[in-house]
Amino acid sequence: MTITDFSVILPVTLLTAWASILLLAELFLPRAQRPFLALLAALGLALTLGISLAQSAQEFAPGFGGMVVRDGFSNFLNVLFLLTGLFGVALSYRYNQRAQIERGEYYPLLLFSVAGMMLMGQAADLIVVFLALELLSFPLYILSAFAYPRPQSEEAGLKYFLLGAFASGFVVYGIALTFGASGSTDLARIVASVAAGSANLPLLTAGAGLLLVGFGFKVAAVPFHMWTPDVYQGAPTSVTAFMAAGAKTAGFAALLRVFGAAFPALAADLSPLMAILAAVTMLFGNLIAVAQTDMKRMLAYSSIAQAGYLLMAFAPFEIEAARTMAVAGALFYLLAYTLASFGSWGVVIALEKDLDRHLSIGDFAGLARRSPWLAAAMTVFMLSLTGLPPTLGLVGKIYLFRAVIEGGMVWLAVIGALTSVVSAFYYLRIVVNMFMREGEPAVEREWWLEFAIGAAAVVTVVVSLWPFPLFEWAEWAVMKLF
C-alpha cells in the first residue's frame, strides 16, 4: 500500500472516521446538547467536500490494485453525494426534534451511507460495487425504521430491507456469473477480456441482466419500483428526502460505471432493453402520479418517473458519440434532480406540522399568501421536475433528449416529451393550489430548512441561465470513462 492508495480514497476514509468519532461524541454529549451533533456532522461533510474539491484538479489515479479509482466521474459524484449529505443534515435538523427521533445514531448512520455512496462512485471492481451498495443501503434500512414505534416507519424499514436484500441477491448472482464469464471482477479486466474475445458472452449477458435487475430496484425503475411509494411515505420525511436523492444517484452511479465502462460490448443486446425499461418507467411513473392525492406518494411516483428519464441515458450506447453526451447528460440531470427533489421534500417537511396526518396536495392551498417565498421556491422545483424554464430540469432534459435523438432513438425522445407533458399536470396542480386556492396551511419556520430550500431554488434558477461551465464539468467527468 502506498500513499496514493490512501489519497485516492481519502474522502471516503475521512467521512467514515468522522462518523465513528461522531458515534463516540454522542456518548459524551448531554442530552440537551444533541443538536450539536448535526453541526458536527455538517462540519465533517463540509471538510470532506473541501478535500474532494481540492482533489478534483488531480489526474486519474487507481488505488488498491485497481479496486477503486479517482477520476473526473468519481469527483463529480463525490461532490454531489456530499451536497446530498449536507442537504440531508439541514433537512433533518429540526424535523428530527419535532418527530422525536433525535437519537444519537442518526447522523453517524447518515454519514456512513454517504461514505457508501462515494465508494460506489469510485468503485472499479464489482466486489467494491457490491460492498458500496450494501454500505449505502444498510443505514437507509435502519433510518427508514427510525421513527419507531410509529408503525408506518417500521413497515417502511422492513419493506425496504426485504426488497433491498432481495435485490442484493440478484447483484451477487450477477457478479458471480460475470466473474465466471470473464475470469475477473475487475471492471478494467472484464473490458479487456471482452475485447480479447476470451469472455463467455452469453454468460456475461446473463450476469449483466441480473445486475440490471438488482440496480433497477435501487433506482426504482419499473417493474422493480413497487416498494417506493410505501417506503417513501412511511419513512421519516427527512430520511425520505435523503434517500430519494442519494440512493437513486448512487444506483445510477453504479449503472453508469458498470454498464458505461464495462459492457460496451453488450450494448447491442442491452440498449433496446434499456430503452424499453426507460419508456415503461416514464409512462408508468407519470401516469400513476397523476392519480395521487397524497403528497408523499405523488413525489414517490414522480421519483420513479424521473428514474425513467435518467434511464434514457443508457439507450444510445451503441453509438460512440452519443454515449459520452448521454452519460454527461445523465450526470447533469442527476444534479438537477437532486436539487429539485431535496427542495420539494424540504417544502413537504416545512408543511408537515402534524406528523401523524398524511399531507395531501390540497394542503398546499393558500401557501402563496401565507408564505410567498416558500411557494415561489416550490414553484421552481415543480417547474424543474417538469422540465420547464427557467430551471436546471429543462436544461438537463434537453441534453438527455438530444443524446437520445443522436443515438437514433427518436421514439424514445417523443415518449419522454409526451410524458413530460403529462407530468406537467400533476406538478403544476400544486402550483395552482398554492397560488389560486384559498387555504390556511400550517408552516413550520426553521432557519436551516429555509436556507436549504432557498439555496436549492436559487441554484436551480441561476445555473440554468448559464449552464455551460457545469455541463463542461460533466463532460470532462465522463471523458476518461470510456
Partner 1 sequence: MIPLSWYLYLSAALFAIGLYGVLARKNAIAILLGIELMLNAANINLVAFWRYTDPAQMAGQVFAIIVFAVAAAEVAVGLSLVISIYRARKTVIADELDLMKW
Partner 2 sequence: MSLELILFFVLAIIAIATALGMLLSRSAVYSALYLVVNFVSVAIFYLLLDAPFIALSQIAVYAGAIMVLFLFVIMLIGLETLGGELNWRQLVWPLAMGILLLVQGVFLVIQRVGRDVYIGQTGTQLSDPSLMARVLFTDYLLPFQVTAVLLLVAMIGAIVLSKREKSNQEA
User: Which residues bind to partner 2, rule: CB under 8 A?
Assistant: 1, 9, 16, 20, 23, 31, 63-65, 67-68, 100, 103, 105, 108-109, 112, 115, 119, 125, 127-128, 131-132, 134-135, 138-139, 141-142, 145-146, 148-149
Question: Which candidate, 254, 277, 266, places its Cα nearest to that of 181?
Answer: 266
Number of alpha carbons in the 13 Å side-chain half-sphere of residue 60: 11
294: which 3 cell numbers?
A: 397524497
**Alpha-carbon span 35 to 102, nearest angstrom:** 8
Helix axes 10-28, 106-122, angle to 10 degrees: 170
Q: Which is nearer to partner 1, 154 or 318 (CB)?
A: 154
Of 93, 95, 179, 309, which lies in the binding site for partner 1, with binding defined by CB under 8 A?
Answer: 179
Given the rule CB under 8 A, which of 147-155, 253-261, 380-388, 395-403 is the region that contacts partner 1?
Answer: 147-155
Q: Which does 128 bind (CB under 5 to 8 A by kind): partner 1, partner 2, none?
A: partner 2
Q: Which does 367 bind (CB under 5 to 8 A by kind): partner 2, partner 1, none?
A: none
Q: Total residues contacting partner 1 (rule CB under 8 A)?
A: 35
Q: Which does 165 bind (CB under 5 to 8 A by kind): partner 1, partner 2, none?
A: partner 1
44 contacts partner 1 (rule: CB under 8 A) = no
136 contacts partner 1 (rule: CB under 8 A) = no
Q: Which does 344 bind (CB under 5 to 8 A by kind): partner 1, partner 2, none?
A: none
Q: Which amino acid is at 218?
A: K
Q: Which is nearer to partner 1, 150 or 397 (CB)?
A: 150
Q: Which is nearer to partner 2, 183 or 454 (CB)?
A: 183
Mind giving me the DSSP string for 196-236? TT-S-HHHHHHHHHHHHHHHHHHHT-TTS-TTHHHHHHHS-
435 contacts partner 1 (rule: CB under 8 A) = no
* CB proximity list for 91: less than 8 A, separation 6 or greater: 237, 238, 241, 242, 342, 345, 346, 349, 448, 449, 452
Least Å from the CB of residue 45 to partner 2? 17
With residue 70 as reference, give the H or E element that holds it. strand 68-70
Look up cell 438530444; give the residue. Answer: 402
**Alpha-carbon span 289 to 305, nearest angstrom:** 8
Total residue count of the chain as it appears in this document: 482
Of 60, 148, 373, 451, which lies in the binding site for partner 1, with binding defined by CB under 8 A?
Answer: 148
183 contacts partner 1 (rule: CB under 8 A) = yes
Backbone angles phi, psi at 69, to 5 degrees: -135, 160
Q: Which is nearer to partner 2, 131 or 361 (CB)?
A: 131
Look up cell 435523503; give the residue. Answer: 242
Number of alpha carbons in the 13 Å side-chain half-sphere of residue 284: 17
Of 14, 158, 414, 443, which lies in the binding site for partner 1, with binding defined by CB under 8 A?
Answer: 158
The number of beta carbons lying within 10 Å of the beta carbon of residue 320 is 10
Is there a contact between 309 and 221 (Cβ–Cβ < 8 Å)?
Answer: no
Mind giving me the DSSP string for 425-451? HHHHHHHHHHHHS---------HHHHH
143 contacts partner 1 (rule: CB under 8 A) = no
420 contacts partner 1 (rule: CB under 8 A) = no
* Per-position x/- string for 184-213, each x denoting binding to partner 1 as judged by CB under 8 A, each - no binding: xx----------------------------
Is there a contact between 423 and 305 (Cβ–Cβ < 8 Å)?
Answer: yes
Q: Which amino acid is at 233?
A: Q
Q: Which is nearer to partner 2, 71 or 475 (CB)?
A: 71
Is there a contact between 213 and 170 (Cβ–Cβ < 8 Å)?
Answer: yes
Q: Which is nearer to partner 1, 142 or 430 (CB)?
A: 142
Given the rule CB under 8 A, which of 176-184, 342-350, 423-431, 439-447 is the region that contacts partner 1?
Answer: 176-184
Q: Which is nearer to partner 2, 139 or 441 (CB)?
A: 139
165 contacts partner 1 (rule: CB under 8 A) = yes
Q: Which does 151 bind (CB under 5 to 8 A by kind): partner 1, partner 2, none?
A: partner 1
Q: Which residues are at the interface with partner 1 (CB under 8 A)?
A: 127, 130-131, 134, 138, 141-142, 145, 148-149, 151, 154-155, 157-159, 161-162, 165-166, 168-170, 172-173, 175-177, 179-180, 183-185, 226, 230
